[in-house]
């Protein structure tokens, strides 16, 4: 009995001595916490993020749940605005890159101890840095994907017209359009070479105008100079060039306001070429699986200085949200919520090299965890989208379907729009007025400059 008593005392002493050694390796009780993250988006399904979320919850002991909620794109902007106003919005939400100027005061910047400008520029292509890095290097958002314009073309219609390759320049496009377009004696277009010239029956027509402005060398507003004062000669030239395709007296005439919507006309086989984004590849295939079409880079004015135009979505972090406390004894602060949100975005969108440095947002201690997957790579594989990351774009450049868009992403530009929806309305209205003969291209651009300048000064 005496020996058993002594043995028990020794075991107890060893336990008392050993436990502090092990507990020193983990976080103190005061530094422990649990938090839920809610993400809102459009287009993507829960399954597109399931693997990344599962992996992240495995390595991050401070995360309880991560939920993703998908919204229809129509009405999504209103949902976000109303949610932010009430304080009941998500922790992370998706915005279009053109919305960024109007959301600057609504999103939380990335803490510099999590993400800095140099790392951001090294990870993402230039257009992302242009859109989501502020004047002083502050970071506003992080995307998984970027998209840019490319030229969709019906191979059968080009072949039938003796055209062996898609046009690489605008002059080639006009020449090809003249060969393809069929107009009867009543002026009715039965077969169109290209969908250009009008505003309301061409998908993303105002983006095409923005593309032409950049290609002509216009100095468009940016975050350092939001005034809209491009060369009037350039603006008039762009509007004249664009609207010639809808002018019946023009040799380039191939489109008018009576035509079917551009995407519909393309999959119906009556349209040879259109400029559009990669997200409509599946639209075309689902509507007409037998359509023999391919995709090429957008035509250029100068092959030496190529320019494309980007339209894409990025995740941002909600600046003001009522925090749901999971443990009243270990309350979550806004700093913790924002830090954990940005930490997840970094995990989701950055290259990880097989490891991820995870920070405790209370103690600011960092620990390295092995990571078994590349979340952005998995996402692109699941969705078939274009990469925002430099290393992944490199892999997509030679893809037979996505290659033209990948190249476009590398040369893409955008510009500062305080209210992108209103600015698109302004562009579309003046194009329609020119088509109707109500104003000249020169008068139209004067109106554009005046009205957009008012919008950006708000």
Which of 316, 323, 313 has its CA nearest to residue 341? 316
pLDDT of residue 148: 98
Residues 158 and 296 in one domain: yes
pLDDT of residue 332: 86
Q: Which of 339, 368, 383 is the last residue of a domain?
A: 383
pLDDT of residue 430: 98
pLDDT of residue 16: 39
Residues 171 and 261 in one domain: yes
Residues 285 and 339 in one domain: no
Q: For residue 422, tell me if it sits in a domain.
A: yes
Q: For residue 170, tell me if it sits in a domain.
A: yes
Residues 304 and 334 in one domain: no
Q: For residue 436, tell me if it sits in a domain.
A: yes
Q: For residue 24, tell me if it sits in a domain.
A: no
CB atoms within 10 A of CB 164: 6
CB-based burial label for 59 (10 Å; 0-12, 13-18, 19+): middle
Residue with tokens 């090294």: 122
Domain span including residue 59 = 30-146+312-383
Residues 290 and 325 in one domain: no
Residues 301 and 349 in one domain: no
Q: Which of 328, 358, 383 is the last residue of a domain?
A: 383
Indicate the number of domains in the chain.
Answer: 2
Q: Which of 357, 383, 409 is the last residue of a domain?
A: 383
Residue ranges in the chain modelled with pLDDT below 50: 1-26
Category of 107 on φ-ψ map: left (φ > 0), alpha (ψ -120 to 50) or beta: beta
Residues 198 and 218 in one domain: yes
Residues 97 and 121 in one domain: yes
Q: Calculate the alpha carbon distances from 446 to 221, 360, 426 in Å.
A: 16, 55, 12
Q: For residue 16, tell me if it sits in a domain.
A: no
Q: For residue 14, tell me if it sits in a domain.
A: no
pLDDT digits (tens, 9 = 90+) for 329-360: 778 899 999 999 999 999 999 999 999 999 99
Residues 272 and 174 in one domain: yes
Residues 127 and 73 in one domain: yes
Residues 210 and 353 in one domain: no
Q: For residue 20, tell me if it sits in a domain.
A: no
Residues 106 and 222 in one domain: no
Cα 265 to chain centroid distance, Å, stands at: 26
Tell me the C-alpha distance between 78 and 80, whole Å.
5
CB atoms within 10 A of CB 103: 18
Whichever domain contains 93, its CATH number is: 3.40.190.10
pLDDT of residue 27: 56
pLDDT digits (tens, 9 = 90+) for 19-65: 333 333 345 667 889 999 999 999 999 999 999 999 999 999 999 99
Q: For residue 216, tell me if it sits in a domain.
A: yes
């Amino acid at each position: 009995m005496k020996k058993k008593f002594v043995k028990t005392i020794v075991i107890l002493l060893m336990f008392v001595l050993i436990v502090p050694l092990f507990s020193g390796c983990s976080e103190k009780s005061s530094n422990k916490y649990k938090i839920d993250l809610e993400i809102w988006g459009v287009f993507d399904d829960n399954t597109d993020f399931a693997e990344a979320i599962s992996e992240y919850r495995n390595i991050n002991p401070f995360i309880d749940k991560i939920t993703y909620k998908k919204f229809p794109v129509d009405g999504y902007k209103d949902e976000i605005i109303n949610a932010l106003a009430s304080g009941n919005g998500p922790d992370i939400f998706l915005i279009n890159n053109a919305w960024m100027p109007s959301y600057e005061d609504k999103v939380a910047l990335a803490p510099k101890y999590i993400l800095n400008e140099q790392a951001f520029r090294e990870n993402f292509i230039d257009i992302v840095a242009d859109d989501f890095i502020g004047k002083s290097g502050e970071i506003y958002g992080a995307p998984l994907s970027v998209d840019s314009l490319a030229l969709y073309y019906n191979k059968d219609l080009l072949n039938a017209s003796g055209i062996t390759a898609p046009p690489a320049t605008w002059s080639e496009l006009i020449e090809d359009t003249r060969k393809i377009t069929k107009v009867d004696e009543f002026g009715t277009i039965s077969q169109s070479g290209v969908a250009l010239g009008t505003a309301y029956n061409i998908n993303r027509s105002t983006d095409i105008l923005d593309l032409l402005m950049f290609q002509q060398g216009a100095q468009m507003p940016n975050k350092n100079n939001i005034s809209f004062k491009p060369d009037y000669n350039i603006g008039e030239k762009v509007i004249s060039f664009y609207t010639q395709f809808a002018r019946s007296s023009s040799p380039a005439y191939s489109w008018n306001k009576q035509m079917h919507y551009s995407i519909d006309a393309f999959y119906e086989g009556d349209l040879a070429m259109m400029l559009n984004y990669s997200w409509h590849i599946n639209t075309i295939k689902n509507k007409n699986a037998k359509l023999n079409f391919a995709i090429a880079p957008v035509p250029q004015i100068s092959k030496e200085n190529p320019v494309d135009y980007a339209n894409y979505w990025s995740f941002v972090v909600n600046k003001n949200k009522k925090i749901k406390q999971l443990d009243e004894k270990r309350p979550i602060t806004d700093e913790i919520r924002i830090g954990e949100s940005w930490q997840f975005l970094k995990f989701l969108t950055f290259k990880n090299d097989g490891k991820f440095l995870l920070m405790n947002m209370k103690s600011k201690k960092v620990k390295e965890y092995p990571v078994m997957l590349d979340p952005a790579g998995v996402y692109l594989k699941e969705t078939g989208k274009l990469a925002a990351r430099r290393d992944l774009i490199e892999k997509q450049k030679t893809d037979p379907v996505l290659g033209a868009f990948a190249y476009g992403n590398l040369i893409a530009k955008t510009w500062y729009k305080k209210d992108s929806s209103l600015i698109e309305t302004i562009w579309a209205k003046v194009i329609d007025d020119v088509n109707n003969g109500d104003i000249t291209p020169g008068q139209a651009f004067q109106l554009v400059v005046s009205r957009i300048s008012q919008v950006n000064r708000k």
